[in-house]
Structure 1
Amino acid sequence: MHSLNFPNYNFRFKNSENKIAVFDVLRKKFVLLTPEEWVRQHVVHFLLREKKLPKTLLNVEKQLKVHDLIKRYDVLAYNPDGSIHLVVECKAASVPITQETFDQIARYNLALKANYLMVTNGLEHYFCQLDYEAEKYHFLPDLPSWK
């Protein structure tokens, strides 16, 4: 897998039927190691270790309904009151971040109403804070650490 623009993390791997799997600490199981999963696992560790988000408030790869369509978000962080703190859209390192990527996470956020958005391909990271009153989002140099 590609070296990514994150700190180095220790991952657990296993080889099953000539396929490599990585242990997901949130799902508590091994999952097939795809290029996008490699980015997602780095994001999870980044949020846990660097941003100090509690593991109990993080969730990965769950379904959500957007305009009668079933979609899947990559990573989501809750606030203690159950509202959404952060939505993360992960792409493989070989996939450039484009306007289409931002449009995708914006569509997801219509249903989720997060405080922050993160878009990453593991090499480039974009962070936004939402201002719902002004109907704007502000790009940030980094995500704030957890309270």
Structure 2
Amino acid sequence: MEPHIGIKEIHLADAAHFLAKLLADEYLLYTKTRNAHWNIEGPDFYNKHLFFEAQYNQLDEIIDSLAERIRTLGHYAPGTLKQFLQLSQLTEESRQTNQSSGYISELLADHQSIIISLRENIDYLATQLKDFGTSDFITGLMETHEKMAWMLRAHLK
């Protein structure tokens, strides 16, 4: 059954497509953060191991809420690695070393990329698609990513 929530079907599809791309970015960032957690080396291993775990747990919650928002709009969430790689604006990175500063710099760049995309689409979702719920939802995601990015930046000082 289609949702009848006061948003045109075409606008629901556009919002769901934006969220699907965001879900792909979040899943790729989650995977990269898990990789950092598993493979970190160096004198700061234990602290960074725990830090990356906290971050990927936050991303796991974001991923689930995004998929549920897509379903709320009456669309199916992408759920395969192939789909995520096709939809994501982020790239997989192959690194030479497993030091914390390299992982942190890479993850920070991805968070900042997501923040910019979210910020650029808040008004579009609200004003053009009349989807104030999704606009509000991604505003909250943006704030979460801003805090996560701040935590990453603090490690680089």
Bin the TM-score by the shorter chain: under 0.3
TM-score of the aligned structures, taking structure 1 as reference length: 0.25
The structure with the largest alpha-carbon Rg is: 2
Higher relative contact order (CA 8 A, sep 6+): 2
**TM-score, length of structure 2 as denominator length:** 0.24
